[in-house]
Amino acid sequence: MSAKAVATLAKPNMRGLLTDQIKKNLIISTVLSFGAMFAYKFLVADKRKLAYAEFYRTYDIEKEYNRMKQAGIFTAARPA
């Protein structure tokens, strides 16, 4: 076997492997968590806010009170 036919492999990097892996995992998890946060905000929270705003914009507390009073929910107020 000639000396030219044998190739030497480069030595693997054995220092800082855990640190590099932790940095990579932290970056990936941070990006994914921010992505999930923005997706939840735009897809769920904003729609929920609009639904609550619409409900309270059209909510009539007197009408609701009279409905519950007629149903006999309140013991202090007799149905009229």
The pLDDT value given to residue 49? 98
Model confidence pLDDT, tens digit, residues 22-66: 999 999 999 999 999 999 999 999 999 999 999 999 999 999 999
Alpha-carbon distance of 76 to 30, in angstroms, equals 56
Alpha-carbon distance of 62 to 52, in angstroms, equals 19
Domain ranges of the chain: 41-73
The pLDDT value given to residue 5? 72
> pLDDT grade, residue 6 (50/70/90)?
confident
